[in-house]
Amino acid sequence: MSRAVRLVVTAGALLVAGAARAQVNLAVTPSAAGTAPLANAVTNGTASSFHLDVANSKSGTILRQIEFRLPQGWSAQGGAGPDGWTVTRLQTNGLYSIRFQVADCSAGAVGGIVNGSAGTFRLDVTPPGGAVAGDWSDNLSRITASDPCGGQTGWNVTSASAVTIPVKALAVTGSVSPVQGPVPTTATSTWTVTNLATAATTVTPAVRITPQGGAVLACTPAPASLSLAAAGAAGASATFSCSYPLAQAGVYTFGATAAGSGVSAVGAIAGPVRTAGVTASFAFTNLTAGPGDQVQAVMTFQNNTAAAVTVSPPRYNQLTLAGLAQTSGTNNPADVPLAAGATGSVTYTFDVTGVVGSAYRAQGTPAISPAGSTTNLAITPAGTVAASTVAWSPAGIVPSRTPKGPWTFTVTVVNNGGASMTEIDVYAPPANGWGGLTYVSMSPTGSVKTSGNPTDTLRYTLTVPSKSTATLKFSFSSLPAVTQTTAYPFQVTTVVSNGSRAVNTNYEETVSIVPTPIPDVAGFTILSDGSGQTLAWTNTSGTTGNAHDGVAIFRTPSGTDPFVPADFVDYSDPANQALATGTVLYADRDGSPTRTAADPAVGAYNYRVCNHDALFVYSSCTSGYWTAKGYLDSVAAPVGGWTHQLGGTSLLQPGVLPGSRVAVATNRPDVTVLDLATGLRTFDPVALASLPAGNTPAAAMASGRNMLFAADQGGLALGFDLDAGTTTWQVTRTGESFVAEITGIVKQYASAAYTAPYDTILLASKTGRLLGVRHDTGATVWTLQVGATGQGLYAAPIYDAGTNRLFVAVDAGGGVRAYDVGAGAAAPTPVAGWPAGTGSYTVACSQGPLTTDLACLDKTGQLVVLDVSTGAPRYGTPISSALASATDLRTVVGATHGYLVSSASAVQRLVISTSGVLSATAQWNAPSGATLSMAQPFPSTGTAFVAASDKKLRKLSLDGLALLDSRDVPGPATSILVGPPVFDRTNGRFVFATAKGRVFAIPAF
């Protein structure tokens, strides 16, 4: 989702959350303030931390686990919770979340947030980078809370979308010097501000100095303002500084921020700076240790005076300790003599006594002799009582992917403590249908034992040294039967032994069973023009709770198959994009409504669009049907034109609304509407039930609407409003099958005898029936049984306004029938005395160059021209066209009247002479091995155009059918069947479709 859209969503979400806040009993809010002088915010594209307060107001509950799912495009690095909490999972390959859990479930253990209390959690994250307009904000995607220790659950949690994280567009870094010295000492801090926004800006810096235990001091920065260029440009960074005399002995922290119009910084901290006659610092040799581990802390002294001194380090009982105790048998450190300017140190040894997730620290003040010298309070940084982290993969199972099993899981355990781990136990959910738990492998090696009745536990006995990793694999032979996505809690227990003491830590992992993957996106198409490719699709959702959550697009060069994604992996994370063998062109999540994507690369690429649900279970990724491999390809656009890959074969004549839109039916099956000028997809494709009828005509109707009509061989017919982009009506007529081109009676051009207040759409069926349908409602006005049993209608009926008659050519010896339309509200009636004949017709008749003529071409290649009044042959017809497998018949009105007949192998010209004789005068044969489309005559220019499977569109002279010019059809295939071209006079282009799924628009020539 774009940031702009997210901000709009946030505003609405906050209103909703505010109205419902009184009902929330687990409130999650950003902490009121960060560590002064920093803001509680993060920096654009930079590793940063954000603090959240969680308050539990539900009676009788204890919150012991909470998981924060990050916004789209953010990555998770870690975090810290209240004492007794630890990070148990960093989800970085799917849901991008940070999970915190108490380390100990025993009664009275530290860590749970009870009713009426609150805790603060720090999220270490990196928001997405890239240029931004200024400060922005994003929202958590999801918050889930539970009590894995078996207590009550069911909190009404603050909506994740209501938890807004500010993101700053200025980055500040800095340092201070010197870091220690005598009293007084002048310390100078130097800072760099970098503009991450797209516009130049002027910012005002601020510097504050915080003494340990004292009031904040103000320091005037120089210069007082900074002019910063736009992000990425020279001058986007600038430096300022501040010098301040530190007159008292102590520890000082320097902090700086900056702000301008629409941009600000989280800020940065430098230091500490220690000032005294003798300065003392205190640091651990190990900032991560497990319960019962031993850690060392070193106190270092610097004599800043001109005379020798003696430092008496604080005794163990003089130190203030948190989470630590003096190790048995250790002695207090001895005094340290220091010459002028010299340094010295002592070491303390402690046992870690804090619970997992808590901090341990020590502080104390040395004594100095002679007494005139001074020193400072020395405080260690906070260490973390660490245990293990557990990663479970995959995050779920899609049984339909591996219907027979077994279903294998991998658990990776990292020992973060200082002592060796000796045991790892995995517990399946009890009595929930998980069966056949089987050990597969383990590293490092050890022993494994199954237990439980039924068998639902694996106990691994092994040695995992400090800071080492164990990888365990196991499988199940049966799963619970589910009808919608269902989550199951698994328990993992790690055991760390430190001498005779064992520390158990429990982790809960949630595994989902997804019965049915989400459906593919619908109507995937690709436009290629001078700017590259534009992909478009329609988002879809499932029926079992797995709603659309986003898409991923994979692109590879022509000749290679695009990557197929793995379930439960989020490819919007750059870290996961390396897993794809090819380019991740685009990926999103969190219910993204995105339905188009642009690729400026020009040329031939293959694209796969994969729909996914909120768990990142992907669809089958086969929305590009014609390739039979589940993807669509693209080609470079023709110069001065465009091409649109529709994903389905189309050799039918497109329907054109001049200067506006073109509609193309494919065997996907659907109808796609494109803008004639640009090739852009105007509306989502309209789905059909089966293969389409012979065309998709478009025209202005009596109602004033610009309408498109389509039908298919399953009896479906529809009317589509080309202005509104909506289906006006859709009806399925059971038992009918529409193959012939759709024609109609347009009231504006009909006989005066036609008085119906609507246009009539004519649908010819393989059953031999002709249906008259209202253009505005789709209602069947009348049904006419034209052909007898076995005599289907494969040729489009012809309406003649001069006689107000319908002419219908019938297959299987049915001949040509004539009917009086009358007023149009009732079924047409047979014309008395009309000689139907016995020919077999699958090609539509054509009104002749004279208003008295009707030309029909039967399946043997016999052409007959009939008098529209009597049905009598004219011009001595029938005559043989010599094209027995003719596919089309067109009338030519010009200096030499006549007809153009097309077949897959030739184009033939027939001319009516001045003496009234019809004869064949010219023929153009297809190149060897090529298949022709239907030819399109243009009498006004004396030319005809025909496309062929040898990837050429040719211009022929209309009279002699001599080859005048040609244009190549772009594309990688060596042979492309091409449909009949139509001409867009407004834009001066030919438009035609191909068996390879593409529609081409090529400039006239």
Q: What is the CATH number of the domain that holds 543?
A: 2.60.40.10
| pLDDT given for residue 975 in this prediction | 64
- Provide the token pair at 256: 């700086």
> Do the domain assignments include residue 910?
no
Residues 428 and 339 occupy one common structural domain: no
572: confidence class by pLDDT, cuts 50, 70, 90: confident
Burial (CB count within 10 angstroms: exposed 0-12, middle 13-18, buried 19+), residue 914: exposed
Among the listed residues 626, 608, 611, 643, the one whose alpha carbon sits nearest the alpha carbon of residue 533: 643
pLDDT digits (tens, 9 = 90+) for 382-391: 998 887 888 8
Q: Are 32 and 94 members of one domain?
A: yes
Task: Report the amino acid identity of residue 907.
Answer: V
Indicate the range of 26-35, 170-179, 459-468, 865-874 predicted with least confidence.
26-35
Q: How confident is the model at residue 110 (pLDDT cuts 50, 70, 90)?
A: confident
**pLDDT band at 149; cut points 50, 70, 90:** confident
Task: Categorize the per-residue pLDDT at 20 as very low, low, confident or very high, splitting at 50, 70 and 90.
Answer: very low
pLDDT band at 12 (very low <50, low <70, confident <90, very high): very low
Residue 677 has pLDDT above 90, yes or no: yes
Let me know if residue 994 belongs to a domain.
no
User: Do the domain assignments include residue 496?
Assistant: yes
Find the mean pLDDT for residues 590-610: 92
Three-state DSSP class for residue 349 = strand
Q: Give the tokens for residue 943.
A: 């030319």
Say whether both 490 and 529 belong to one domain.
no
DSSP string, 20-71: HGGG-SEEEEE-S--STT--S-EETTS-EEEEEEEEE--TT-EE-EEEEEPP
pLDDT at 92: 60
473 in a structural domain = yes
> How many CB atoms neighbour CB 214 within 10 A?
12
Q: What is the mean pLDDT of residues 29-50?
A: 85
pLDDT of amino acid 18: 34
Please check the confidence at residue 565 and state whether its pLDDT lies above 90: yes
User: How many residues appear in the chain?
Assistant: 1005
What is the gyration radius of the CA atoms in the chain, in angstroms?
40
pLDDT of residue 36: 53
Q: For position 10, what pLDDT does the model report?
A: 28
**Containing H/E element for 575?**
helix 574-577
**CA-angle at 323, arms to 318 and 328, nearest 5°:** 65
Residue 393 token pair:
């993969």
Domain that holds residue 253: 170-275
Residue 584 counted as domain residue: yes
Strands of 336-338's sheet in order across: 336-338, 309-312, 367-369
- Strand order through the sheet with 42-43: 42-43, 164-168, 136-139
Q: Which of 113, 141, 168 is the last residue of a domain?
A: 168
| Same domain for 155 and 207 | no
* Count of domains observed in the chain: 6
CATH code, domain with 772: 2.40.128.630
Please compute the mean of the pLDDT values over residues 972-998 and round it to a whole number: 83
Question: Between 364 and 23, where is the model more confident?
Answer: 364
147 & 237 share domain: no
Which domain-ending residue is among 789, 822, 844?
Answer: 844
* % of the chain at pLDDT higher than 90: 67
Q: Cα(275)–Cα(272) distance, rounded to whole angstroms?
A: 10
* CA count, 13 A, side-chain hemisphere, 586: 21
Q: What is the pLDDT of residue 450?
A: 81
Task: Report the percentage of the chain scoring pLDDT > 70.
Answer: 95
Last residue of a domain, one of 168, 185, 220: 168
Let me know if residue 620 belongs to a domain: yes
- Cα separation, 92 vs 90, in Å, equals 6
The pLDDT of residue 455 is: 61
Same domain assignment for residues 296 and 222: no
Cα angle 29-34-37, degrees, rounded to a multiple of 5? 150
Residue 299 has pLDDT above 50, yes or no: yes
Distance CA 415, CA 390 (A): 9
Instruction: Single out the residue of 67, 61, 152 nearest to residue 113, CA to CA.
Output: 61
Report CA torsion sign: 240, 244, 246, 250. Answer: negative
Phi-psi group of 296: left, alpha or beta (phi > 0 → left; psi -120 to 50 → alpha; rest → beta):
beta
Q: Examine residue 99 and state whether it is found in any structural domain, yes or no.
A: yes
Chain Cα centroid distance, residue 404 = 30
Q: How far apart are CA 664 and CA 670, in angstroms?
A: 8
Tokens matching residue 446: 């050890």
Q: Report the pLDDT value the prediction gives residue 577, as an integer from 0 to 100.
A: 84
- Phi, psi values for residue 317, rounded to 5°: -75, -5
Within a domain: 857: no
Question: Which pLDDT score is estimated for 508?
Answer: 78
Q: What is the model's pLDDT at position 962?
A: 96
Q: Is the domain of 144 the same as that of 69?
A: yes
Residues 803 and 699 in one domain: yes
Question: Based on the domain organization, do 217 and 328 belong to the same domain?
Answer: no
Average pLDDT over residues 210-232: 92
The mean pLDDT of the chain is 90
Which of 743-752, 821-830, 909-918 bottoms out in mean pLDDT, i.e. has the lowest? 909-918
pLDDT bracket for residue 812 (50, 70, 90): very high
In a shared domain, residues 107 and 246: no
* pLDDT for 500: 58
Does residue 376 share a domain with residue 442? no
- CATH for 421: 2.60.40.1530
Co-location of 450 and 492 in the same domain: yes
Looking up residue 97, the CATH number of its domain turns out to be 2.60.40.290
Q: What is the mean pLDDT of residues 565-581?
A: 85
Under 8 Å between Cβ of 404 and 374: no
Residue of 420 and 54 predicted with greater confidence: 54
Q: pLDDT (tens digit, 9 = 90+) per residue, 242-277? A: 999 999 889 999 999 999 999 999 999 999 999 999
Enter the pTM of the model.
0.73
CA distance 684 to 672: 7
